């Protein structure tokens, strides 16, 4: 009985804008459940309170987080991001992921990585990595493997072009079902794309003009609705022909 | 101890970006979709004050402020004003900008813009001189970089020019009790003067890649980090080269430099026209702002003027002047001088001013500061003590100042006298009359003197007497006719 009001209370906050200080979930009636808290939420005794302004999202069955769009990135565990190698130390690569602190990528965090086959990354290499540990007092720790230890597309990205956007646009591009802009571009052009939740996007295609077209289309689509995005892509295609 | 970033490494470029920009340029493609010789969109805005401009060139954002003050001139240039350019690279513009002392690029930017304006004599320095050797105007241009999106020189140059074109400095005259004091007139009382700018030097920046083979105009921030060399050519719309700056970087062939200068002259003409359009829009809007401040009280005050002018005594004149919110205007000052001589108050000019007041719609029309004659016995007070606070309402002053405006000294005194006349103090009216007298007398005296010198003095005497007679007749006749009727 107690769980009902708290459920309805949390339901009422989901997908709505919340501000720091809001109590979105009451834990008194949820003794046997586990709840995963993502970015922007904190446990305050028996209630979950908000730390960041944004929209409260839920992913069934039990993951809650607050979503907002910024140009800076706050590292969160299990996020996949694009980083640029800044320096290499004895046991870590220093990688810039647009966070307040540099990320540390252990030299052994690769599939089949041993002291003998440490990869050589020059300064400026673009890497697709996963955030393993994120804490606001320590440098975030990264990895080029997934949880099971496989490479799973992580690692350096070759060629192509990278540009920076806001975190909101990056999340929109990563949404499923696929974002309308990526779909409509994919209907007429062939390209490959890697999206980091820190706002960095990498695009590669056969010809530079395709890359430029795709990157500019994505940058301009941030505040367009789905229909507007489709119209924009159609106009671009017409202009090409 | 967490590993913090080193400040100078705050922004990094990946290898992929670098390579891509170069390969795209090899096929004449730029990353933002422009062609190699296309400028980004130029947006020029102005602030509410004079001499304040804001320019956006794509993502680059620069603001310029122009201020003036009276200072002593340099010893080797005693009759020229001073132009100073100050740049502020705000840390919010770019992570590599640091607060405090300006860095190398800040100094270079200031120097390039300064050279374009000073060496080409775009801003007239000699018109800024007030008293040779003692007092000149010092014009300071402050450039604030708000956002560094690449190509700061061009954006800052346009901002500086836009601010200089719309800046107005206060009018100042030599006068006072001993004829030595400098009086700075309040801008609300006397229309301030714009700077004399002969031409507009526009800077155009080129970036070189691939050992000087490829060049692009107006590089963005990313293109600037990848470029091999940079060159800025400052050209005006007449095709005169005002300055060229190529500091370090890759060497380029002289033919490439000549080609850049040719392209720059075309671009400079384009930017000059955009700048002039923006300034014109701002100037008309500024003039409209002054005119618009007439509320509806205009209508009934005009009719009041019609009624009250008929039988009033001269000593009530100042009160009437205050009541008449708007007077018709005369374009030139020649009509003023004859009226100053006569001493009787009549209806004639009062009526004429009344009828003309109906036609006032905000455009220049017949203007008459003294519809009623004043006796010289009533002229008291000193000349142009303009620095004191005027109780005049903004409306009257603004209208006169904007509508009747020629740059000759005669209109200068006329506008001073307008301002005087419309105030609520009777003293100011007499001041105005006196200053008109003072203007008129020297003119006739000069005329007299030259005539004496050339031995045609008798002609001069005859002419003056005839003129006075005609004026007296003009005033007496209508009143006599009215009485007869």
Instruction: Tell me whether residues B20 and A161 touch, CB distance under 8 A.
Output: yes
Q: How far is B90 from chain A (nearest CA, A)?
A: 19
Shortest CA distance to B146 belongs to which of B60, B57, B40? B60
Report helix, strand or coil for B107. Answer: helix
The shares of helix, strand and coil residues in chain B, as percent rounded to the nearest 5, are 45, 20, 40
Instruction: Tell me whether residues A94 and B18 touch, CB distance under 8 A.
Output: no
Q: How far is B244 from chain A (nearest CA, A)?
A: 33
Q: Please report, to the nearest 10 degrees, the dihedral formed by the alpha carbons of residues B412, B415, B420, B424 taken in order.
A: -170
CA max distance for chain A: 64
Report helix, strand or coil for A27. Answer: coil
User: ipTM value of the model?
Assistant: 0.86
Please return the burial class of B83, using the count of CB atoms within 10 Å of its CB with bins 0-12, 13-18 and 19+: buried
Q: Which residues pair with A81 in a beta bridge?
A: A129
Specify the pTM. 0.69
- What's the CA gap between B67 and B71, in Å, rounded? 13
Number of cross-chain residue pairs from A and B with Cβ atoms under 8 Å apart: 65
Q: Which residues pair with B181 in a beta bridge?
A: B175
Instruction: Tell me whether residues B5 and A161 touch, CB distance under 8 A.
Output: no
- What's the CA gap between B410 and A29, in Å, rounded? 90
For B226, what's the count of Cα atoms within 13 Å in the CB-facing half-sphere? 25
Of B4, B5, B20, the CB nearest to A208: B20
Instruction: Tell me whether residues A139 and B27 touch, CB distance under 8 A.
Output: no
Q: How far is A11 from chain B (nearest CA, A)?
A: 39
Of A124, A157, A208, the CB nearest to B13: A124
- Please give chain B's pLDDT, 485 residues, in tens: 666 655 445 678 899 999 999 999 999 999 998 999 999 999 999 998 889 999 999 999 999 999 999 999 999 999 899 999 999 999 999 888 888 888 888 999 999 999 999 999 999 999 999 888 888 999 999 999 999 999 999 999 999 999 999 999 988 887 767 767 778 888 788 888 899 999 999 999 999 998 888 999 999 999 999 999 999 999 999 999 999 999 888 889 999 999 999 999 999 999 999 999 999 999 999 888 877 665 665 554 444 444 444 444 444 544 544 444 444 433 333 444 444 334 443 444 444 444 444 444 444 555 556 655 544 444 444 333 344 344 444 444 433 433 444 334 444 444 444 444 444 444 555 565 555 555 555 555 555 555 444 556 667 677 778 877 887 777 776 666 666 66
Closest residue of A to B17, CA-based? A161
Hey, what are B227's tokens? 């470029």
Shortest CA distance to A121 belongs to which of A87, A154, A161, A96? A87
Distances (CA, A) of B481 to A164, B347, B473, B485: 87, 12, 12, 6
Instruction: Tell me whether residues A159 and B29 touch, CB distance under 8 A.
Output: no
Residues of B in contact with A161 (CB under 8 A): 16-17, 20, 31
Question: Residues B404, B408, B413, B416: is their CA dihedral positive or negative?
Answer: positive
Closest residue of A to B27, CA-based? A208
């Amino acid at each position: 009985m107690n769980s009902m009001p708290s459920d309805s209370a949390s339901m009422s906050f989901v997908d709505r804008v919340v501000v720091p200080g809001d109590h979105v979930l009451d834990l008194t009636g949820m003794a046997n459940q586990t709840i995963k808290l993502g970015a922007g939420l904190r446990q305050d005794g028996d209630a979950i309170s908000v730390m960041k302004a944004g929209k409260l999202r839920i992913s069934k069955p039990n993951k809650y987080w607050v979503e907002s769009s910024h140009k800076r990135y706050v590292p969160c565990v299990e996020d996949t991001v694009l980083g640029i190698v800044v320096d290499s130390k004895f046991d870590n690569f220093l990688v810039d992921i647009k966070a307040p602190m540099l990320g540390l990528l252990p030299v052994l965090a690769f599939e089949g990585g041993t002291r003998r086959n440490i990869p050589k990354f020059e300064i400026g290499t673009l890497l697709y990595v996963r955030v393993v540990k994120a804490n606001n007092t320590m440098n975030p720790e990264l990895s080029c493997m997934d949880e099971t230890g496989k490479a799973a597309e992580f690692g350096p990205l070759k060629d192509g072009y990278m540009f920076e956007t806001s975190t909101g646009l990056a999340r929109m591009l990563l949404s499923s079902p696929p974002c309308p802009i990526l779909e409509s571009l994919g209907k007429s052009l062939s390209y490959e794309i890697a999206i980091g939740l820190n706002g960095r996007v990498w695009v590669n295609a056969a010809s530079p003009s395709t890359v430029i077209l795709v990157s500019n289309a994505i940058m301009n689509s941030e505040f367009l609705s789905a229909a507007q995005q489709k119209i924009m892509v159609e106009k671009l295609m017409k202009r090409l022909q | 101890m967490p590993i913090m970033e080193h400040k100078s490494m705050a922004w990094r470029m990946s290898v992929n970006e670098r390579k891509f920009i170069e390969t795209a340029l090899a096929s004449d493609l730029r990353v933002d979709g422009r062609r190699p010789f296309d400028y980004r969109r130029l947006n020029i805005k102005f602030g509410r004050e004079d001499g304040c401009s804001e320019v956006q060139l794509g993502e680059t954002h620069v603001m310029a402020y122009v201020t003036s003050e009276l200072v002593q001139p340099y010893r080797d240039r005693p009759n020229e004003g001073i132009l100073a350019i100050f740049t502020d690279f705000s840390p919010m513009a770019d992570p590599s900008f640091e607060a405090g002392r300006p860095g190398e690029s800040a100094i270079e930017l200031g120097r390039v813009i300064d050279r374009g304006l000073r060496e080409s004599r775009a801003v007239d320095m000699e018109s800024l001189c007030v008293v040779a050797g003692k007092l000149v105007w010092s014009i300071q241009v402050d450039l604030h970089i708000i956002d560094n999106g690449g190509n700061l020189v061009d954006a800052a140059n346009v901002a500086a020019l836009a601010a200089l074109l719309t800046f107005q400095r206060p009018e100042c005259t030599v006068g006072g009790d001993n004829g030595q004091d400098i009086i700075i007139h309040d801008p609300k009382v006397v229309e301030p003067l714009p700077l004399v700018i002969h031409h507009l030097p526009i800077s155009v920046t080129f970036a070189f890649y691939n050992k000087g083979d490829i060049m692009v105009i107006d590089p963005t921030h990313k293109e600037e980090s990848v470029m091999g060399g940079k060159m800025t050519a400052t050209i005006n719309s007449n095709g005169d080269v005002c300055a060229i700056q190529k500091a370090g970087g890759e060497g380029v062939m002289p033919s490439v430099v000549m080609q850049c200068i040719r392209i720059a002259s075309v671009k400079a003409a384009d930017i000059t026209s955009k700048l002039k359009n923006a300034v014109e829009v701002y100037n008309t809007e500024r003039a409209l702002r002054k005119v618009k401040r007439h509320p509806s009280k205009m209508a009934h005050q005009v009719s009041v003027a019609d009624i009250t002018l008929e039988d009033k005594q001269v000593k009530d004149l100042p009160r009437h002047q205050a009541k008449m919110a708007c007077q018709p205007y005369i374009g030139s000052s020649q009509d003023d001088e004859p009226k100053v001589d006569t001493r009787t108050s009549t209806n004639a000019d009062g009526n004429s001013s009344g009828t003309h007041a109906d036609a006032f719609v905000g455009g220049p029309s017949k203007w008459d500061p003294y519809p009623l004659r004043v006796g010289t016995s009533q002229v008291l007070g000193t000349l142009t003590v303009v620095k004191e606070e005027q109780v005049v309402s903004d409306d009257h002053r603004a209208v006169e100042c904007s509508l009747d405006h020629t740059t000759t000294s005669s209109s200068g005194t006329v506008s001073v006298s307008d301002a005087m006349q419309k105030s609520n103090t009777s003293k100011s009216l007499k001041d105005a009359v006196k200053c008109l007298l003072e203007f008129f007398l020297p003119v006739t005296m000069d005329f007299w003197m030259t005539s004496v010198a050339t031995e045609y003095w008798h002609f001069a005497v005859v002419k003056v007497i005839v003129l006075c007679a005609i004026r007296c007749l003009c005033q007496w006749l209508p009143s006599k006719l009215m009485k007869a009727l």
